[in-house]
Structure 1
Amino acid sequence: MDLQGRAAVVTGGGRGIGSAIARILAENGATVIVSARSVDEIENVAKSLQSEGYEAHAIPCDVADETSVEMMAQEASRRFGDIDIVVNNAGIARSNPVKGLTLEEWDRIFSVNATGTFLCTRAFLGGMIERGWGRVINVASVAGLQGGPYMAAYSASKHAQVGFTRALAAEVADQGVTANAICPGYVDTAMADYAVARIVGKTGLSYEEALQSILATNPQQRLIRPEEVAHVALMLCSTDAEGINGQSIVIDGGLGVH
């Protein structure tokens, strides 16, 4: 795919799914702005891509902070021109029963997963509409389509992200911009490691037993690879994908059909 002349911002781009998406977009010609709170992580991703001859640059940002998002957007636009693609990948997860869930935890999860998606989209949407072309890709979760015990805040925030995607898609459908969500199951990232650790801590299961309980949620008995999510993101950037709008694309090995 030729993304020459396109510029993309990838939040949560310092590791896992975000770094995989940053890489595949850069490999296909896009200028990629890798963004996250961790300066070291995003600089490592950008430098790695630069060493291979790709256009990649690091701009730190806290997606939950409006001023930080505005500063990131201004710097990205000043240095690299029009931003055509926004990948809202930054996200956090916490596991607690509702009766033990604090308002602080609830607000923090929503501030990153839902509000962060809104702020970063809003920062670049006007330019996309003016130019008549843009892609908003929100990395959500199967938790945004179904519920699960001890994940009320995370699931609710991902449902909000999916709902935002659908509403935005309807709003900009006739303006050359598409908005879609990618909803993976458990992915082989630090977030899956956190989930395993929480299961071990709450149940007393061994690490291997806890991991197997997570693998069992996927009929293919495995974790999704970050690169699988990245390939879907790349596809959504294609001009041939302009008819895909407002969708929640599930990557879960078939969990949803059971």
Structure 2
Amino acid sequence: MSETILKGRHAVVTGGGRGIGRAIAQALTDAGAKVTVVGRDRATLERAVSEGSAHGAAVADVTDPEAVQAAVKDAVSRHGAVDLMIANAGAAASAPFMKSGPDLFRQMLDINLLGVTNVTQAVLGSMTERGFGRVIAVASTAGLKGYPYVSAYCAAKHAVIGFVRALALEAAKTGVTVNAVCPGFTDTDLVSTSLDRIVAKTNRSREEALGEFVKHNPQGRLIDPAEVADAVLWLCGEGARSVTGQAIVVAGGEI
């Protein structure tokens, strides 16, 4: 990938301190963009900056609209208007539906859906005025199919896909594209924590627990975060200007 393909672009990556977000930040930086990572853990964000994955960091909880607006304002003051918004921050909670109360559903919707809409509202006006922008939500295969014991998470991720499809139509003539990338189970801290939980609850080995995840992928493996980052990088480029309202699946043929 050319080191100048995104030169002059300013990208904001939420949840950019680790996992898929960190991989995306690195890919965009390598392609020449100025990258600001946003998240709740300042130390993790500053590590991404010090290790060369990003150029700046802003602390904000994406479920808080005012904090998001402040973080974007700070990022703009340092690196200029935001051209590329990568709404990656998210979380997953597992529970049988009958033990998934309203609070769990609200929690999943707050982080996974409002975490996308809040950051989009913070940048869309400026993008529209300038006639260029990329809004990319990192959703999940759980936005396109169901999985047992994560009904709240699946509902929230399905909502993200609906949002992307609707906003893409609103923004179609503005120069702003709106898309989602939908990874399958990816080799991140989130999956590692889930594996630990399964091992603790079921007394199965870690290998057996991992088998429950990779069985969904016809290629029989976890997705590499860099593969998700490559899909995001393509969507950020000029060659994807006619791609909008899409849910790009990175899941080894699962969908």
Q: TM-score scaled to structure 1, two decimals? A: 0.95
1: CA distance, partners of 2:213 / 2:12: 31
AA in 2 matched with 1:66: P
- TM-aligned CA deviation for residue 106 of structure 1: 1.7
- TM-aligned CA deviation for residue 105 of structure 1: 2.0
- TM-aligned CA deviation for residue 132 of structure 1: 0.4
2: CA distance, partners of 1:72 / 1:3: 22
2: CA distance, partners of 1:128 / 1:4: 17
State the identity as a percent: 46
Q: Is 2:65 the counterpart of 1:61? A: no
AA in 2 matched with 1:159: H
Partner of 1:103: 102
- Do the aligned residues in 2 keep the contact of 1:6 with 1:83 (CA within 8 Å)? yes
- TM-aligned CA deviation for residue 103 of structure 1: 2.1
- TM-aligned CA deviation for residue 81 of structure 1: 1.4
Partner of 1:244: 243
AA in 2 matched with 1:47: S
- TM-aligned CA deviation for residue 56 of structure 1: 1.0
- Do the aligned residues in 1 keep the contact of 2:195 with 2:209 (CA within 8 Å)? yes
Partner of 1:33: 36
Partner of 2:11: 8
AA in 1 matched with 2:40: R
2: CA distance, partners of 1:240 / 1:101: 43
SS of alignment partner, residue 250 of structure 1: strand
SS of alignment partner, residue 59 of structure 1: strand
- Do the aligned residues in 1 keep the contact of 2:56 with 2:75 (CA within 8 Å)? no
- TM-aligned CA deviation for residue 203 of structure 1: 3.2
Flag structure 2 segments of 5+ consecutive residues without an equivalent: none
Q: Please, what is the CA RMSD of the aligned residues? A: 1.1
**How many residues are aligned here?**
252
2: CA distance, partners of 1:194 / 1:68: 28
- TM-aligned CA deviation for residue 200 of structure 1: 2.5
1: CA distance, partners of 2:162 / 2:71: 25
Higher mean C-alpha deviation, range 169-178 or range 209-218 = 209-218
Partner of 1:145: 144
AA in 2 matched with 1:5: G
- TM-aligned CA deviation for residue 78 of structure 1: 1.7
Partner of 1:88: 87
SS of alignment partner, residue 24 of structure 2: helix
AA in 1 matched with 2:212: S
- Do the aligned residues in 2 keep the contact of 1:95 with 1:198 (CA within 8 Å)? no
- TM-aligned CA deviation for residue 204 of structure 1: 3.0
- Do the aligned residues in 2 keep the contact of 1:114 with 1:158 (CA within 8 Å)? yes
1: CA distance, partners of 2:196 / 2:103: 22
Q: Is 2:42 the counterpart of 1:43? A: no
Partner of 1:23: 26
1: CA distance, partners of 2:155 / 2:193: 19
SS of alignment partner, residue 46 of structure 1: helix
Cα deviations by residue, 1:2-48 (Å, 9 ceiling, x for unpaired) = 11110000000000000000001011110000110010001000111
Partner of 1:134: 133
Flag structure 1 segments of 5+ consecutive residues without an equivalent: none
AA in 1 matched with 2:25: A
- Do the aligned residues in 2 keep the contact of 1:12 with 1:36 (CA within 8 Å)? yes
Cα deviations by residue, 1:207-236 (Å, 9 ceiling, x for unpaired) = 111111211111111100000000000000
- After TM superposition, where is structure 1 displaced by more than 4 Å over at least 4 residues in a row? none
